[in-house]
């Protein structure tokens, strides 16, 4: 019932544990004959090396940690899939933790992963994270860490992101190009770099095209579990505050769909009365009516690329070579649909 060990194989064949170990790993100093014997017996006994012992000996677990603000999220769950698929190819397992957008939890989870001694960490920051000691500690201990999507520029490590500012600029520009004269913005929470960047892209597009920037047209939402409701609320508020707005660039598809639903309900025509551009290209955006113009954000690819970078760094560290941090920017694209005019 108990798992088979090298020792048992050795005793069976009347040879030493050393030889068994070497035979299984095709060392050159064991004869073909004994190699064959060992391998055969190992197979029939269904020998599996004890991972705990191997980990202790080799000081690595072939496991990485992943901390993500939310799991139930079209974009993030795609990132997870990307990471896992790539990790599996390289023989790595991934432990997933959800920070729930909480800095405190994020800190604890980093600690947890460090004491579990994962080989590396992938993280997308919580909205509430403004202090980065926990991340710097990881790096200080020579543990590879790469951030993706929700990053902190200040932390010296690899990052894989999109150019949020540029994408937001594209989105807003598209509203301008299709005739919108007064454009609002539903932005994300205050801290995350990407909601800041999207806001800046929005603002720059306005100014570059001789349109005034009006802070009262910028609505904030936390983009958490309640995103959809936030979209509805902001839409209601917008209709009360500003009846002259004819275009909105919205931080996230989910919020955009909330707003869209509210407009549909109130009889506000999209795009005739108000045009909307979302962000993410969640597949639901192409299903809702009217279909949503949005920015395509490559979640699966981001996951893959993030793991690849982490993998490189893990290998470098293992060889005691210095790692060079990279900032990888993935391409985005505007996806034109029915929620904006031609």
**Residue 36 contacts DNA per CB under 7 A:** no
Does 276 sit near its own copies (CB under 8 A)?
no
Q: Contacting its own copies (CB under 8 A), which of 98, 251, 281, 293?
A: 98
**Which of 11-19, 72-80, 235-243, 327-335 is the region at the interface with its own copies (rule: CB under 8 A)?**
72-80
In the list 7, 153, 265, 315, the residue contacting DNA (rule: CB under 7 A) is 7
CB 93 within 8 A of CB 62: yes
Torsion of CA 85, 73, 144, 161, to 10 degrees: 100
Compose the 59-88 pattern: x for residues touching DNA by CB under 7 A, - for all others. Answer: x-----------------------------
Q: Choose the one of DNA, its own copies, none that binds residue 287, judging by a C-beta under 5 to 8 angstroms depending on kind.
A: its own copies
Residue 22 or residue 81: which is nearer to DNA going by CB?
22
Distance, in Å, from the CA atom of 329 to the CA atom of 342, rounded to the nearest integer, reads: 29
Backbone angles phi, psi at 39, to 5 degrees: -60, -40
User: Which listed option, its own copies, DNA, none, makes contact with residue 85 (CB within 5 to 8 Å by class)?
Assistant: its own copies
SS3 323: coil
- Measuring CA to CA, which residue among 177, 169, 178, 172 is closest to residue 341? 178
Site string for its own copies, 49-68 (x = CB under 8 A): xxxxx-xx--x-x-x-----
Stretch of residues binding its own copies (CB under 8 A), selected from 22-30, 171-179, 195-203, 284-292? 284-292
Helix (H) or strand (E) holding 6: helix 6-13
Q: Quick one: which of 11, 36, 40, 56 contacts DNA (CB under 7 A)? A: 56
CA distance 251 to 146: 24
Q: Which does 95 bind (CB under 5 to 8 A by kind): DNA, its own copies, none?
A: its own copies
For residue 49, what are the contacts with CB-CB under 8 A and spacing of at least 6? 24
Position of tokens 């920051």?
A: 125
Could you tell me if 126 and 96 are in contact, meaning their C-beta atoms sit under 8 angstroms apart?
no
For its own copies, the binding residues in 288-307 under the rule CB under 8 A are 288-289
Q: For tokens 């958490």, what's the residue?
A: 224
Token pair of 69, please? 């603000």
Which partner from the list DNA, its own copies, none does 133 bind, CB cut-off 5 to 8 Å by kind? Answer: none
**Residue 153 binds which entry of its own copies, DNA, none, CB below 5-8 Å type-dependent:** none
Q: How many CB atoms lie within 10 A of CB 93?
A: 13
32 binds, among its own copies, DNA, none (CB under 5 to 8 A by kind): DNA
- Rounded to whole angstroms, the Cα distance separating 335 from 62 reads 39
Interface with its own copies by CB under 8 A: which residues? 1, 3, 48-53, 55-56, 59, 61, 63, 71-74, 77-78, 80-81, 84-85, 88, 93-98, 112, 114-117, 141-142, 228, 257-258, 261, 264, 283-284, 287-289
């Amino acid at each position: 019932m108990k798992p088979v060990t090298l020792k048992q194989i050795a005793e069976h064949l009347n040879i030493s544990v050393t030889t068994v170990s070497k035979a299984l790993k095709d060392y050159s100093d064991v004869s073909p004959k004994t190699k064959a014997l060992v391998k055969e017996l190992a197979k029939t006994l269904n020998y599996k090396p004890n991972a705990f012992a191997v980990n202790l000996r080799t000081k690595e677990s072939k496991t990485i940690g992943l901390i993500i603000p939310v799991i139930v999220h079209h974009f993030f769950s795609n990132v997870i899939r990307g990471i896992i698929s790539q990790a599996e190819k390289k023989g790595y397992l991934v432990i997933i933790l959800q920070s729930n957008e909480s800095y405190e939890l994020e800190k604890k989870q980093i600690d947890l992963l460090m004491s579990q001694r994962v080989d590396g960490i992938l993280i997308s920051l919580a909205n509430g994270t403004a202090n980065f000691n926990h991340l710097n500690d990881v790096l200080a201990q020579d543990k590879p860490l790469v951030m993706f999507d929700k990053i902190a520029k200040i932390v010296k490590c690899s990052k894989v992101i999109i150019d949020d500012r540029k994408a937001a600029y594209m989105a807003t520009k598209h509203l301008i190009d299709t005739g919108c004269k007064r454009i609002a913005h539903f932005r994300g929470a205050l801290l995350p770099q990407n909601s800041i960047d999207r806001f800046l892209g929005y603002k720059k597009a306005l100014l570059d095209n001789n349109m005034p920037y009006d802070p009262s047209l910028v609505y904030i939402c936390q983009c958490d579990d309640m995103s959809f409701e936030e979209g509805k609320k902001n839409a209601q508020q917008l209709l009360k505050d500003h009846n002259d707005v004819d275009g909105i660039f919205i931080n996230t598809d989910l919020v955009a769909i909330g707003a869209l639903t509210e407009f549909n309900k109130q009889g506000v025509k999209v795009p005739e009365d108000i045009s909307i551009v979302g962000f993410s290209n969640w597949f639901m955006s192409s299903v809702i009516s009217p279909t949503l113009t949005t920015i395509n954000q490559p979640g699966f690819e981001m996951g893959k690329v993030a793991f690849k970078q982490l993998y490189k760094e893990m290998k470098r560290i293992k060889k005691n070579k210095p790692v060079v941090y990279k900032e990888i920017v993935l391409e985005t694209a505007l996806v034109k649909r029915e929620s904006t005019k031609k």
